[in-house]
DNA sequence: TATTGTTATACTCTATAACTATA
DNA sequence: TATAGTTATAGAGTATAACAATA
């Protein structure tokens, strides 16, 4: 009942049940977070996918559409529609790469930079974590980083 | 750099940055988990939404369609199509409630019970958590429960 | 009149396949 | 021939509005 009451050694079955409960809770929690962020994106006039695309772009470097598709883990064909909307909103400009004229690189405009900042804020809105103290938050951070590939908590690109 | 290096008191800005990083990491992690579960559901011949609907149903009690919609946090109109597929697959039966003939309650069949068990397993597949030790897992569980409404980690309906 | 389930409809997200223009 | 971006198309998910049956 008290926190951290785990016995030193868990049986395989107990371990599996515990892990399963954690996974289901994570899935549930992520739904609530997604709901929150989607509302914030809508207030910016962006659909979730468009907001995510803008967030993924690099404001300081032209990114090829192909590259964006890889970062978003989706098919290139989807990027076209996403970038159409971003370009229509004046947040991104398409630019043919002089080096290889097959490539169209995506340049974030000044407006795009501003909105991207707002998107980042929406994705950082942590009202859900209000119940945690500072040290608990740090512990959670460390555990999550260990889960999603044991990297360093600083800035390893795994944003 | 080392884990749990949090200073006793965090400034408001530092706290916000830390919380934001945790939120973004949770969102990222949930994408990977969703991807895994969707594959598992497909192997059961179920789409993600249909699998989730079946999982939400109570095998021991007829649930009104309206009630399921509330549990899934979606419009009633969607439940119709979801249940159509579940009924076509022989996993659920529609039954008019004798008490109030407006209601159609959803009864999980024997086949449905079996598949629902498989769905539960898919949603509990915690390969992603393999990097954590037993006590870390328990700590993570406690933190997540505290986040999503400070309940008890046992079984408070907040599955 | 209010509510349940259904239907019709539309929009978003995503994938596949075929097309074009470059290389 | 291989690759980048585009287009056409389809399916899943979800929302709104209107409708029939029941309360």
Is the shortest CB-to-strand distance from B74 to strand D under 7 Å? Answer: yes
Q: How many CB atoms lie within 10 A of CB A20?
A: 17
Nearest residue to B126 via CA among B32, B56, B54, B22: B32
Domain interval for residue A88: 18-126
Residue B142 lies in a domain: no
Tokens linked to B104: 């159609």
How far out from the chain centre does Cα B118 lie?
A: 14
Q: Write the CATH number for B55.
A: 1.10.10.10
* A25/B141 CB distance under 8 A: yes
Q: Tell me whether residue A93 is in a domain.
A: yes
The reply to whether B96 touches chain A by the CB within 8 Å rule is no
> Within a domain: residue A8?
no
Which residues does chain A have within 8 Å of residue B21's beta carbon, measured at their own beta carbons? 124, 141, 153
Test B128 with A147 for CB contact under 8 angstroms: yes
Q: Is residue B116 part of a domain?
A: yes
Contact call for residues B147 and A144 (beta carbons, < 8 A): no
Question: Are β-strands A104-108 and A63-64 bridged in parallel, bridged antiparallel, or unpaired?
Answer: antiparallel
pLDDT digits (tens, 9 = 90+) for B4-45: 454 557 888 999 999 999 999 999 999 999 999 999 999 999
CA distance B78 to A42: 22
Q: What percent of chain A has pLDDT over 70?
A: 89
User: Once rounded to an integer, what is the mean pLDDT over residues B87-109?
Assistant: 98
Determine phi and psi for B94, rounding to 5 degrees: -85, 140
Q: Which of B66, A13, B44 is nearest to B55 (CA)?
A: B44
Asked, for residue B64, whether it belongs to a domain, the answer is yes
Q: How confident is the model at residue B158 (pLDDT cuts 50, 70, 90)?
A: very low
**Contact (CB, 8 A) for A66 and A103:** yes
CB B83 within 8 A of CB B56: no
pLDDT band at A10 (very low <50, low <70, confident <90, very high): confident
Return the closest nucleotide (C1') to the Cα of A103. D4
Rounded to whole angstroms, the Cα distance separating B49 from B39 reads 13
Of B3, B145, B153, the CB nearest to A142: B3
Number of structural domains chain A divides into:
1
Burial of A74 (0-12, 13-18, 19+ CB in 10 A): middle
Task: Report how far residue B141's alpha carbon sits from residue A24's, in angstroms, rounded to the nearest whole number.
Answer: 11
Ramachandran class of A75: left when φ > 0, alpha when ψ lies in -120 to 50, beta otherwise = beta
Residues 6+ apart with CB under 8 A from B66: B76, B79, B103
| Distance separating alpha carbons of residues B30 and A22, to the nearest angstrom | 12
A71 CB below 7 A from strand C atoms = no
Question: A60 CA to D17 C1', in Å?
Answer: 46
- Gyration radius of chain A over CA positions: 20
Q: What is the mean pLDDT of residues A21-25?
A: 94
Q: Does residue B146 sit within a domain? A: no
Residue-averaged pLDDT of chain B: 90
For residue B108, give the 3-state DSSP assignment: strand
Q: Which nucleotide is nearest to B83 (CA to C1')?
A: C5
Backbone angles phi, psi at A83, to 5 degrees: -70, -35
Give tens-digit pLDDT for A120-142: 999 999 888 999 999 999 999 99
Cβ atoms B40, B125 nearer than 8 A: yes
pLDDT digits (tens, 9 = 90+) for A72-107: 999 999 999 999 999 999 999 999 999 999 999 999
Is residue A150 predicted with pLDDT exceeding 60? no
Half-sphere exposure of A69 (CA within 13 A, CB side): 13
Q: What is the pLDDT of residue B159?
A: 39
B127 touches strand D (CB under 7 A): no
* Pairing verdict, β B63-64 and B92-96: unpaired
Q: Is residue B4 part of a domain?
A: no
Taking the C-alpha atoms of residue B53 and residue A81, their distance in angstroms, rounded to an integer, is: 31
Q: How far is CA A17 from the centre of its chain?
A: 28
């Amino acid at each position: 009942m008290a926190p951290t009451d785990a016995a030193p050694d868990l049986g395989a079955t107990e371990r599996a049940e515990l892990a399963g409960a954690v996974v289901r809770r994570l899935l549930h929690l992520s739904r609530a977070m997604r709901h929150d962020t989607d509302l914030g994106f809508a207030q910016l006039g962006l659909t979730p996918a468009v907001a995510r695309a803008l967030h993924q772009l690099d404001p300081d470097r032209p990114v090829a559409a192909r590259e964006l598709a890889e970062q978003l883990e989706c098919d290139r064909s989807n990027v076209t529609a996403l970038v159409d909307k971003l370009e229509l909103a004046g947040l991104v400009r398409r630019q043919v790469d002089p080096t290889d004229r097959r490539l169209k690189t995506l340049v974030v405009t000044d407006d795009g930079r501003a909105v991207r900042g707002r998107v980042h804020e929406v994705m950082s809105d942590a009202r859900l974590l209000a119940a945690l103290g500072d040290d608990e938050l740090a512990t959670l951070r460390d555990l999550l980083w260990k889960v999603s590939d044991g990297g360093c908590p600083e800035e390893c690109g795994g944003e």
